[in-house]
Amino acid sequence: MTYRLSKLEIAGSLADLGVILPIAVGMIMVNQLSPQGVFLSVGLFYIASGIYFGTTTPVQPMKVMGSYAITMGLASSEVHAASLTVGVTLFLIGLSGSMKRIIRIIPKPVIRGIQLSTGILLMAQSVRFVLGEAPLQQLRHSAEPFLSVTKLGPVPINWLLGLAAMGLTMALLTSKRFPAGLVVIGFGILSGLLLGAATDGIALAPQLPSLMPEGMPSLDMLVAVFIALTLPQLPMTLGNAVIANADLAKEYFGDDARRTTPKALCLSMGLANLGSFLLGGIPMCHGAGGLAAHYRFGARTAGSNMFIGGLFVITALLLGDTILDAVRLIPLSVLGVLLFFAGSQLALTILDMKTRQDLFICVTVLGITLASNLAVGFILGAALAALMRSGRFTP
């Protein structure tokens, strides 16, 4: 188990903020979650994951559940109940050992198809951030809702910030002296300060988190959120956060990733979501996209988890609910650029697919995902692979 805290580890640790922050901020604003509870639970999950898995390990919001909660305007009590149901479900799946059976019937082309699809989705979302068309921006009716300067002459500020961040990233992507992720986040914070992001709400407000802020949900609520939120999330979580994530960790870290098994990932996410329920956080998972982001910008050891996790925990405890004002300093278009390079890193994992049949499965999973969602792509991709193995169909 290795811990390093270099400039590259710090840069890599920040690379996945483009996924975490928009969804977390959206759920805080729309679903009335406690900013402290959200950021504290994310930070603790990062730290615990680094300690156990021993390599850089991603932490992300559950996108299906988060997007649905924001779109439908669910109450905070329903979001917390969803954390409880998905936590118990994943813990039981991990404990039962059923992931071994699932893994045996999912061939590598399907896994690569999931990684390709996730990468393309991240790249598409990144472009929406730069153009000002992401859900959080539409919700606030502004491309940069937390900046007072929205244009320079006739040109939208989000376009200029996105292009500048893209140029910085491309120029420094291989630099060890000036890591791209660190420079781009620094550029984003400086831009926020210069372009009028409000800072007067940031204040030291040390406080301990509230445990189970909404109390224990009723049985009716648990059943409702299990059907509406947990069941639709599970195929995506098992495909991307478990199977694809475990595969990518072994590709990146080899034997150092021996603890990153599908069973361990299920148990880890199960425990994390039970903890998130207690602290009033959001449903969380690991994810191949997050791992690609951390790795692309330089993270290689659990030191990256210690840094980003410690940053989340310390700011949550010291700033309390004013932490949200600090997060708003980073323009969304700058976060979008980080997403773009993370997505491209993940999408390119299909380069080891050499045969026509394997590539056909990959692009089929992608096509189905773009037409519906990742869960459907995963399920139908696995069915297609089984059909091809039987010899009844050849593309």
Q: pLDDT (tens digit, 9 = 90+) per residue, 139-181?
A: 888 999 989 998 998 999 999 999 999 999 999 988 888 888 8
Where are the domains positioned within the chain?
A: 7-389
Predicted pLDDT of residue 97: 86
Kindly state the percentage of the chain with pLDDT values over 90: 51
Kindly state the percentage of the chain with pLDDT values over 70: 98
Q: Contact at 8 Å (CB) between 119 and 348?
A: yes
Residues facing residue 194 across a β-bridge:
none
In angstroms, the CA 53 to CA 36 distance is 26
Predicted pLDDT of residue 203: 81
Residue 31 predicted with pLDDT over 90: no
In angstroms, the CA 380 to CA 364 distance is 9
Residue 321 predicted with pLDDT over 90: no
Q: What is the mean pLDDT of the chain?
A: 89
Return the number of other C-beta atoms located less than 10 Å from residue 331's C-beta. 28
Return the number of other C-beta atoms located less than 10 Å from residue 71's C-beta. 12
Alpha-helix residue ranges (DSSP H) falling in 73-131: 76-96, 98-104, 108-131
Q: Which of 281, 288, 268 is nearest to 90 (CA)?
A: 268
Predicted pLDDT of residue 327: 85
Predicted pLDDT of residue 306: 96
In angstroms, the CA 222 to CA 86 distance is 10
In angstroms, the CA 88 to CA 142 distance is 38
Residue at token pair 């109450």 = 75
Mean pLDDT of 297-321: 94
In angstroms, the CA 146 to CA 235 distance is 35
Return the number of other C-beta atoms located less than 10 Å from residue 124's C-beta. 13
Predicted pLDDT of residue 39: 95
Residues facing residue 152 across a β-bridge:
155
Find the largest Cα–Cα distance for the chain. 66
Burial class of residue 163, CB neighbours in 10 A (0-12, 13-18, 19+): middle
In angstroms, the CA 106 to CA 120 distance is 21
Mean pLDDT of 237-245: 91
Residue 205 predicted with pLDDT over 80: no
Mean pLDDT of 217-223: 94
Higher pLDDT, 47 or 26: 47
Q: Contact at 8 Å (CB) between 345 and 92?
A: no
Could you tell me the two tokens for 22?
Answer: 């928009």
pTM score, whole prediction: 0.85
pLDDT bin (cut points 50, 70, 90) of residue 55 is very high
∠ Cα 374 378 383 (to 5°): 150
Q: Contact at 8 Å (CB) between 305 and 46?
A: yes
Q: Residue 280 region, left (φ>0) first, then alpha (ψ -120 to 50), else beta?
A: left
Return the number of other C-beta atoms located less than 10 Å from residue 141's C-beta. 8
Buried b (16+ CB within 10 A) or exposed e, 278-313: bbbbbbbbbbbbbbbbbbbbbbbbbbbbbbbbebbb
∠ Cα 273 274 275 (to 5°): 85
Predicted pLDDT of residue 100: 82
Q: Contact at 8 Å (CB) between 322 and 74?
A: no
pLDDT bin (cut points 50, 70, 90) of residue 393 is low
Mean pLDDT of 223-227: 90
Residue 1 predicted with pLDDT over 70: no
Looking at 247-316, which runs of residues are DSSP E strands? 284-285
In angstroms, the CA 294 to CA 11 distance is 8
pLDDT digits (tens, 9 = 90+) for 83-110: 999 999 999 999 998 888 887 778 889 8
Residue 350 predicted with pLDDT over 80: yes
Predicted pLDDT of residue 46: 97
Least confident interval from 59-63, 192-196, 372-376: 372-376
Instruction: Give one DSSP letter per residue of 159-206, joined into a string.
Output: HHHHHHHHHHHHHHTT-SSS-HHHHHHHHHHHHHHHTT---TT-----
Residue 190 predicted with pLDDT over 70: yes
pLDDT digits (tens, 9 = 90+) for 247-300: 999 999 999 999 999 999 999 999 999 999 999 999 999 989 899 999 999 999
Q: Contact at 8 Å (CB) between 312 and 46?
A: yes
- DSSP reduced 3-state for 155: strand
